[in-house]
Chain A
C-alpha cells in the first residue's frame, strides 16, 4: 500500500515569507507526527496529532510554527516569517494508534526547506 507522502519534496523561500508543508499519512492511521531534522542531527519532535487534535505540541520552537489536521488525515505544517535557521528537512510520520508498545511510526521522505 501507499506510504506516507510529503509535498513538496523541496521548498526554497526567502527570509520573512510564509510556507506550508503537507503530509499525507497512511490511510487509517490516527496518529501523526512532525519532526525536524537539521544537517548532521537526528530528527527532533515538533508536534503530535491524535485524530484532529494536537495532543502534544511541546516541540514547536516558537509561535511562528503551527500545524493543523482538520479532518484527521492530511496535515499541514505552517511556518510564518521564515528565518534562515528554519532551514531543515521536515519529516512526517504516522502510526495506526500512537501506542509505541504495539505500533510503529512510518516516516515519509521529508520536505527539504531552504530559507535564503
Chain B
C-alpha cells in the first residue's frame, strides 16, 4: 500500500541550529512529494513540492528538500532555524493523474529553544 513515513515524532533544536526532518515514501512509482507546515490555529501551508527534474527543491521561509530515489526519501532542511519555525511539519505524496489526493505522514513536531 502507498504510504508516507516520518520517523521522528518530535524534534528539538536551538535557534540558529540547522534542521533536517526525515520523510520516506513507499509507492510503486515515484510520486509527487510535498512538505506542509501547520501552526496552531492555522491551516496547512505548502512549503515546497517536487514533481521531477532537479532533486534539490527550494521552498518558502528558507526551507529546501532533497529527493533521493535510491533511499525513497524526501528530507526537509533548513540551515538556520528561527523561533517562528516551531510548528508541526507534514510530508505528503500523491501519484497524480486522477484524484491527486494527498497521503500524509504522521507529522514531526518541531520545538525551538532560544
Binding site for B on A (CB under 8 A): 3-4, 31, 33, 35, 40-45, 48, 55-56, 59, 91, 93, 95, 98-101, 103-110
Contact between chains at A44 and B104 (CB < 8 Å)? yes
Determine the chain A residues whose CB is within 8 A of the CB of B41 once the complex forms.
Answer: 109
Contact between chains at B107 and A42 (CB < 8 Å)? yes
Contact between chains at A41 and B106 (CB < 8 Å)? yes
Known: A4-B43, A105-B102, A109-B43. 15 other contacts (CB 8 A): A3-B43, A33-B102, A35-B102, A42-B6, A43-B90, A45-B101, A91-B43, A98-B99, A99-B100, A101-B51, A103-B100, A104-B46, A105-B46, A107-B45, A109-B41
Most buried by A among B36, B102, B106: B102
Contact of B100 among A35, A44, A100 (CB under 8 A): A100
Contact with A along B91-114 (1 / 0, CB 8 A): 010101011111111110000000
CB-CB under 8 A for A100 and B96, given A43-B90, A59-B101, A109-B42: yes
Q: How many A-B residue pairs have CB under 8 A?
A: 69
Contact between chains at B100 and A45 (CB < 8 Å)? no
Binding site for A on B (CB under 8 A): 4, 6, 32, 36, 41-46, 49, 51, 90, 92, 94, 96, 98-107
Contact of A56 among B4, B96, B98, B102 (CB under 8 A): B98
Determine the chain B residues whose CB is within 8 A of the CB of A104 once the complex forms.
Answer: 46, 49
Chain B facing A: main interface SS = loop
Determine the chain A residues whose CB is within 8 A of the CB of B99 once the complex forms.
Answer: 48, 55-56, 98
Instruction: Give Cα A44 to B32, complex, Å.
Output: 17
Contact between chains at A101 and B32 (CB < 8 Å)? yes
The 10 A-B pairs of least Cβ separation, nearest first, read A42-B104, A100-B100, A107-B44, A107-B43, A56-B99, A45-B101, A100-B96, A109-B43, A100-B94, A100-B32
Instruction: Give Cα A98 to B96, complex, Å.
Output: 9
